[in-house]
């Protein structure tokens, strides 16, 4: 009985969620529901609380008010049904791990006890390496791989526990366009094939625009949800920010111009060259 209840419950449910640090409100009365196989993009300027939302879902940060449920259960630390893909930080050369070991940590890296090799684990690692197209460099030291190759491995690592939801924290940052496409397609394929829900934090929606079902847009303690077409419009974002915002669509790209307090070059969905193109 409880199994069917869990299966019909949304994968992620936030009810009346608020997060405050002292006087500062990151978001307030946030209601959000993500269904199986849904792709949610979380947009917003730096400091709008995107990463904090992920930490709250991971059970690492307690909400000020409200609650978050994953598959119908309250969040808890170390939930094996959530996969997590971090920002790409280059792994230094001289790290004593090969590509297959990085994926292996996703399988049993949390376990204490003697690390004895097993055939079952090896086969699982080989399958995951194949799934993310990393078989050709399976035995190379991770420190010798490119940022894009390392990020493919992190996707594989996050899939090791067969998660019902993937949390992605700017996983495409500092990757070139080819690798951005490759990595986002791996994530998209996973949710199409296995129904894994995706919560994808990003400052630039363009690389994932064709995949996104819904957008959560965070700004100055307020938020909006809807499809990209509903949210990414001049009048909608102008009302959200209470200051004139212009959304320009050109050549399949979305460019948001005029977002305040964005700490320089990282606009929510804009590029510097995009801004120039509109001038």
Site of interaction with other proteins (CB under 8 A): 58, 60, 77-80, 82, 84, 86, 89, 91, 94-98, 101-102, 105-106, 108-115, 141-144, 154, 157-158, 161, 167
Quick one: 83 or 268, whose CB is closer to other proteins? 83
Quick one: 105 or 239, whose CB is closer to other proteins? 105
What is the phi/psi pair of residue 263, to 5°?
Answer: 50, 55
Quote the CA–CA distance of 48 and 223 in Å, as a whole number. 10
Quick one: 111 or 273, whose CB is closer to other proteins? 111
DSSP category for residue 230:
H
> Which tokens is 208 given?
């994932």
Measured from the CB of residue 189, what is the shortest distance to other proteins in angstroms? Answer: 21
Q: 121 Cβ partners below 8 Å, 6+ apart?
A: 104, 107, 108
Measured from the CB of residue 201, what is the shortest distance to other proteins in angstroms? Answer: 13
Measured from the CB of residue 139, what is the shortest distance to other proteins in angstroms? Answer: 9
Of 188, 187, 237, 184, the closest CA to residue 206 belongs to 184
Measured from the CB of residue 237, what is the shortest distance to other proteins in angstroms? Answer: 30
Helix (H, G, I), strand (E, B) or coil at 25: strand
Distance of CA 103 to the CA centre of its chain: 18
Of 131, 134, 180, 117, the closest CA to residue 159 belongs to 131
Quick one: 126 or 246, whose CB is closer to other proteins? 126
Quick one: 27 or 84, whose CB is closer to other proteins? 84
Helix (H, G, I), strand (E, B) or coil at 134: coil
Quick one: 63 or 166, whose CB is closer to other proteins? 166
Quick one: 81 or 206, whose CB is closer to other proteins? 81
Measured from the CB of residue 250, what is the shortest distance to other proteins in angstroms? Answer: 36
Quote the CA–CA distance of 25 and 251 in Å, as a whole number. 36
Measured from the CB of residue 246, what is the shortest distance to other proteins in angstroms? Answer: 35
Measured from the CB of residue 268, what is the shortest distance to other proteins in angstroms? Answer: 23
H or E, element range at 69: strand 65-70
Answer yes or no: are the C-beta atoms of 100 and 87 closer than 8 Å.
no
> Which tokens is 258 given?
């005029």
């Amino acid at each position: 009985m409880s199994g069917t209840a869990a299966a019909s419950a949304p994968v992620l449910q936030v009810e009346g969620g608020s997060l405050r640090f002292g006087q500062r409100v990151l978001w307030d009365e946030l209601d959000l529901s993500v269904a199986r196989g849904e792709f949610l993009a979380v947009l917003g300027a730096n400091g709008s609380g995107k990463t904090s939302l992920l930490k709250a879902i991971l059970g690492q940060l307690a909400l000020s008010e409200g609650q978050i449920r994953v598959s119908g259960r309250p969040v808890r630390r170390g939930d094996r049904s959530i996969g997590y893909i971090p920002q790409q930080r280059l792994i230094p050369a001289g790290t004593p791990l090969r590509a297959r070991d990085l994926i292996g940590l996703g399988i049993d890296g949390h376990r204490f006890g003697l690390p004895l090799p097993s055939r079952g684990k090896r086969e699982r690692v080989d399958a995951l390496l194949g799934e993310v197209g990393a078989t050709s460099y399976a035995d190379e030291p991770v420190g010798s791989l490119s940022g894009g190759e390392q990020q493919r491995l992190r996707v594989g690592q996050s899939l090791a526990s067969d998660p019902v939801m993937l949390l992605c924290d700017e996983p495409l940052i500092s990757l070139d366009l080819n690798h951005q496409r490759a990595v986002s397609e791996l994530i998209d394929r996973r949710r199409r094939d296995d129904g894994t829900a995706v919560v994808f934090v990003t400052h630039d929606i363009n690389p994932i625009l064709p995949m996104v079902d819904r957008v959560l847009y965070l700004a100055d303690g307020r938020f909006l949800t809807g499809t990209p077409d509903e949210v990414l419009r001049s009048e909608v974002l102008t009302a959200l920010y209470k200051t004139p915002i212009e959304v320009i669509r050109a050549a399949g790209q979305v460019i948001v111009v005029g977002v305040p307090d964005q700490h320089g070059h990282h606009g929510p969905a804009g590029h510097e060259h995009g801004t120039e193109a509109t001038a």
